[in-house]
Amino acid sequence: MAHRVVIYGGSGNLGRSLITLFNKNNWEVTSIGTRPNEEAAHNIVVSNKEESLEVQGKKVIQNSNSILNGEKYDAILCVAGGFCMGDLAKEDFLETADSMIKKILNPSLIASKLSTVNLKEGGFLMLTGVADLQSTPGFIGYGIAKAAVHHLFNSIASKNGGLPKNTKVMAIQPATIDTPDNRKGMPDADFSQWIPLDLLTRRIFEYTNGTLSVPQGKMVKITTKNGETSFVEL
């Protein structure tokens, strides 16, 4: 019987990389996002513009129920994200802040709720925060959304957080990931200080398949300096 995994954010750079690797290892992948992923066995497409958090959540759960047909997921990995600049003085500040909440926080909320419905006992849930989060005056909406994900994780990983019994849960806190989109957006950056996409993908897969023990209830800060990547449990 194939293992089943949800990749929330399956049309993003990290999501696509994860789906490719899980497929190579014969996992049955369900991709959730605003666009379908042609490699995934199943796709659940949601709309940030037309659907509220509640509507998206109900749609994801209903579609998951149909896909699973009484079975359960082994793992739910939320790697959905996005990035917008925007300080308080920008005319479109509220628009960009709203976009960050919809692209970053809402998927984490839905993925967490989905785990209470369709994750196996002892299954694995992973959320994605960001390394070294402090004040973000130039991109406030992004910072708010990531801070909220950190709060969500700390809350659900705590006693009485609502996760099913024996759920393995962790969050990653990556710094900048070396993706084609990031290179396009920041062509003059020092790429030796960025996390290699393939390395991060393999690491997440190893947490998921049990090759590496999940640091239960912890966040893992991931940074790269001079080409060397570290994974630090917080």
Give me the phi and psi of 95, to 5 degrees please: -65, -45
Domains parsed from the chain with CATH numbers: 4-176+198-221 (3.40.50.720)
Task: Identify the H or E element spanning 207.
Answer: helix 197-209
Place of tokens 């129920």: 65
**Residues involved in catalysis:** 142
- In whole angstroms, what is the distance from residue 16 CA to residue 115 CA? 21
Helix extents (H) in 35-167: 53-68, 93-100, 106-118, 140-156
pLDDT of 2 above 90: no
Query: What are the pLDDT digits (tens) for 32-88?
Result: 999 999 999 999 999 999 999 999 999 999 999 999 999 999 999 999 999 999 999
- Find out whether 177 and 197 touch, Cβ atoms under 8 Å: yes
pLDDT at 169: 98
Q: pLDDT tens for residues 22-32?
A: 999 999 999 99
Distance CA 213, CA 202 (A): 14
